[in-house]
Amino acid sequence: MSKTVRPRRSVLYMPGANTRALEKARTLPADALIFDLEDAVAPDAKEAARANVVAAARSKGYGKREIVIRCNGLATPWGKADAAAIATSGADAILVPKVESAADVAQVVALLDAGGAPASMAVWAMVETPRAILRAEEIAGSHPRLALFVMGTNDLVKDMRARHTPMRLPMLAALGIGMLAARAYGLTILDGVYNDIQDTEGFRAVCQQGLEMGFDGKTLIHPSQVEPCNEVFAPSVAELEMAGKIVTAFKTAQAEGKGVVTVDGRMIENLHVEQAERALSLAAAIKELQAA
């Protein structure tokens, strides 16, 4: 099993114009931080926010947290300058809004390359329009720099003229298509935000739904959402106990030349071993992140 499993349980948006928020983010237990230049920043503050987030990313003051900067749309007056600044900011990734085609990904990759971005800088794509959903496979397979989908559920609901509901039934088709495209091309995928920061019970329920659907984690809009999100998207004690049993039993059976493995009365196949190894790797990566 690859040792490069990276926890992305909680991915918190931080407004780029708010220097106090950027400073506070150094102490938050989020797995990753998105310094936002788009929705969270007024037009007259865009350039100051750009300077803020680049300075924050360059400071390397966020421990092992993954640092991502969301640029403005490339068709806006700020998008291309954002991409050029992000290229040498030291951020781990650029998050691009309103991605709708492979050509959109190619454009941002060209801007990063022209700006001198290191090969390690990833592209994350916001999947947040009906056209993006219908082209999800094209986008997912568009370029090796593309590492992750972020589902932009607020924009999707708006464009679909749908409603936010507790079970998210209007969103299931879009979420499922995004999930299938991401997994088909080996991408990480994050669930969209939950708007009611006072509704802790509803938030936990939608985190659980996202986990069950297969999401790696969730984008967040408030620090209070980080810890419950981390809890839901981390392997539980029971899951890790079973994973350890499965891996041990499988190795023992292999050493003894046995073709059939059972654990607690359950038949174990290779797919169960892969799932168990991933859970153990994720738990180890979480522990390392927390120790930083």
List pLDDT tens digits, range 182-219. Answer: 999 999 999 999 999 999 999 999 999 999 999 999 99
List pLDDT tens digits, range 32-79. Answer: 999 999 999 999 999 999 999 999 999 999 999 999 999 999 999 999
Retrieve residue 211's tokens: 């986990």
Q: Whole-angstrom Cα distance, residue 134 to residue 178?
A: 9
- Among 79-83, 192-196, 247-251, the range scoring the smallest mean pLDDT is 247-251
Higher pLDDT, 198 or 256: 198
Q: Is the pLDDT of residue 3 over 60?
A: no
Helix ranges (DSSP H) in 88-171? 102-114, 130-134, 136-140, 153-160
Triad 271, 273, 274: Cα angle to 5° = 65
Confidence of residue 256 (pLDDT cuts 50, 70, 90): confident
